[in-house]
Amino acid sequence: MYDCLYPHTIGGFERFYRDLAERLARHHEVTYLTRRQWSRAELPNRPVGVRLIAFSCGRELYTTSGRRRVLPPICFGIAVLAHLVRNLHRYDVVQSCSFPYFPMLSCGVVRALGGPPVVTDWIEIWSNAYWRRYLGAVGGSIALAVQKACIRLTRGAVTHSKLVADALRASGYQGSLTLLEGHLAVPAPSASESARAPIFVYAGRHIPEKHVDAIPVAIALARERIPNLRAEILGDGPERCKVLAEIKRLHLEDVIQCPGFVQWQQLDSLLLRAMGLILPSEREGYGMVVMEAIARGTPAIVVASPDNAAVNLIEDNVNGFVADSASAVSLAEQIIRVHAASPGLQSRTLNWYREHAATLSLDASVVQIEAVYRKMCALESAEEPC
């Protein structure tokens, strides 16, 4: 249950949920509840083997500033409530993303009515300070209260990084918790260990906390040492205009390509020949694109931040580097380090992935999730009155 469906909404967790649904559907009956992200004249890109139910709750998720709209999640939560009440005993277990919270509140109501147990994916835990910065003093306080209520409602939690697991515990959660490390749905293609092209790739949304607008300046600074350096900045979002303005200001139109969102095959091909990935984000619940790059022998540059779980994926000078900050100067320093360490760094990155491939595969997470389902259903049976 999630209000986004890949590829209609592009993101690492969206890919994970789609891949997970398809993998579970090989052995189980799976229904995916989501928000309709396509026009009525379009056919949705349905996950293979999965029953897809989409509710009309508004197609625009974000404001022009990049903040999540409030009304679509509320409408989605109401639609989920109505559906689950109508199908109170249809499902053995519900797996829900914690964000955007309102569907979780609906699940709490349904559980009180005798509905199925709920497993909750906690991707991130937002602090009071971040909520206030995101929604203002009043809106942030309300959102924080809703987040706390959802934590209290959680009985079976799944997280995708130790950072989030620790934050969930610190927020008062004391129930069952499973850490999933496996996100890669298919084995990585054979990556070349030969020298890569001096290209650095960014892939993701263009929002303030990703600091995408720092990349053009970082490339310009690094080109003082690496004259043939280029970059591909993929994705879209409210900060895109700033990125394009920086590229134009620096006269890098022939150096930095900014094509928007691209098909996965194009990103995959680019990662296989790039020298490195650059992700100057201060907030990541996991860092899916970092792991996808590493699986292709492409080292990653990430940024030190207390809310950035992607830092935990990096071993210094083995599969990438951690920049001290998202400043252009700090990013440029790491770009130069990657270039200087190549091609040996790419070989070490690929070897690191090969050593950890079994743990990082989606198959490993499927085994864990099925165990969580069994545990939740067993607890449900034990609590039923004789």
> Nearest-CA neighbor of 283 among 343, 180, 211?
211
Structural domain boundaries enclosing 256: 197-360
- What average pLDDT score do residues 102-115 get? 93
Decide if 34 is inside a domain. Answer: yes
How far apart are alpha carbons 143 and 231 in whole angstroms? 37
> CB of 193 within 8 A of CB of 343?
yes
If asked whether residues 25 and 77 sit together in one domain, one would say yes
Q: How confident is the model at residue 6 (pLDDT cuts 50, 70, 90)?
A: very high
CA 184 vs CA 6, 34, 120, 298, 360: distances in Å: 15, 22, 20, 15, 6
Residues 175 and 264 in one domain: no
Structure tokens at 354: 């090969």
Which H helix or E strand runs over 369?
Answer: helix 362-383
Asked if 172 and 201 sit in the same domain, the reply is no
Pair 217, 139 in one domain:
no
Considering just the CA atoms, what is the radius of gyration of the chain in Å?
Answer: 21
- DSSP letter (8 states) at residue 281: -
In this structure, the answer to whether residues 262 and 296 fall within a common structural domain is yes
**203 and 332 inside one domain:** yes
Q: Classify residue 162: in a domain, yes or no.
A: yes
Note the pLDDT tens digit of each residue in 17-36.
999 999 999 999 999 999 99
Is residue 42 located within the same domain as residue 179? yes
- Domain match, 57 and 133 both: yes
> What pLDDT score was predicted for residue 264?
85
When divided into structural domains, the chain yields a total of 2
Which pLDDT value is given to residue 194? 63
Residue 7 lies in a domain: no
CB 225: neighbour CB atoms within 10 A? Answer: 13
Tens digits of per-residue pLDDT, 41-91? 899 999 999 999 999 988 787 777 777 788 898 999 999 999 999 999 999
Percentages helix, strand, coil for the chain, rounded to the nearest 5?
Answer: 45, 15, 40
Map residue 317 onto helix, strand or coil.
Answer: coil
Same structural domain, 107 and 55: yes
Tokens 């099925």 correspond to 370
Predicted pLDDT at 111: 92
The pLDDT assigned to 192 comes to 62
Give pLDDT tens digits for 140-159: 999 899 999 999 999 999 99
Provide the pLDDT confidence category of residue 352 given band limits of 50, 70 and 90. Answer: very high
The fraction of the chain above a pLDDT of 90, given in percent, is: 81
175 part of a folded domain = yes
Can you tell me which residue has the tokens 């050593």? 355
Same structural domain, 277 and 368:
no
Q: Give me the mean pLDDT over the 100-126 stretch.
A: 93
3-state secondary structure of 30: coil
Q: Is cis: bond before 208, omega within 30 of 0? A: no
* Whether 21 and 111 share a structural domain: yes
Indicate which CATH number applies to the domain containing 227.
3.40.50.2000
pLDDT for 54: 95
Q: Is residue 203 part of a domain?
A: yes
Please write the tens of the pLDDT for every residue from 185-211: 877 766 665 678 999 999 999 999 999
Please report which confidence band the pLDDT of residue 386 belongs to, taking 50, 70 and 90 as the band edges.
very low
267 lies in a domain? yes
Asked if residue 105 is part of any domain, the answer here is yes
Give the model's pLDDT for residue 185: 86
Write out pLDDT tens, residues 268-318. Answer: 999 999 999 999 999 999 999 999 999 999 999 999 999 999 999 999 999
Residue-level pLDDT at 383: 62
Coil/strand/helix, residue 302: strand
Q: Answer with the residue of higher pLDDT: 292 or 383.
A: 292
Q: Is 84 exposed, middle or buried (0-12, 13-18, 19+ CB in 10 A)?
A: buried
Residue 97, H or E segment? strand 94-97
pLDDT band for position 384 (50/70/90)?
low
Same-domain check for residues 210 and 118: no
Let me know if residue 4 belongs to a domain. no
CB 33 within 8 A of CB 55: yes
Give Cα 178 distance to the centre of its chain: 17
